[in-house]
Amino acid sequence: MNPKHEPTRDSDSSSVKSWMVEFTVEDGRKNQRHLTLIKADDVNDVHNELLKELRLTYQDSEKVDVTVHRIEPVSTYTDALLFEGIYSP
């Protein structure tokens, strides 16, 4: 029987979390799919940090179209027993 695990919840909702953002950028020449990790308090801060990252990465582009596919907080829960015996060095 597998033990049932619940993800841990932060008691302080204002603490900084890690957010996974998956998005596609079209800059006229090509489409690029991106996956990035952003540290932020909430989704509004994630949007601001993503804009900063896009401005830095595509500063030479005149116009870019961005499609965000997924924004979600990263869970720090891992069950090491699920990988026991599967991988070996």
pLDDT of the residue at 3: 46
DSSP letter, residue 4: P
What is the CATH number assigned to the segment(s) 17-75? 3.10.20
3-state secondary structure of 41: coil
Q: Is the pLDDT of residue 7 over 80?
A: no
pLDDT of the residue at 39: 95
Rounded to two decimals, the pTM is 0.67
- Residue range 39-89, pLDDT digits in tens: 999 999 999 999 999 999 999 888 999 999 999 999 876 676 776 777 665
Domain residue spans of the chain: 17-75
Q: Which residue has the tokens 């989704």?
A: 43
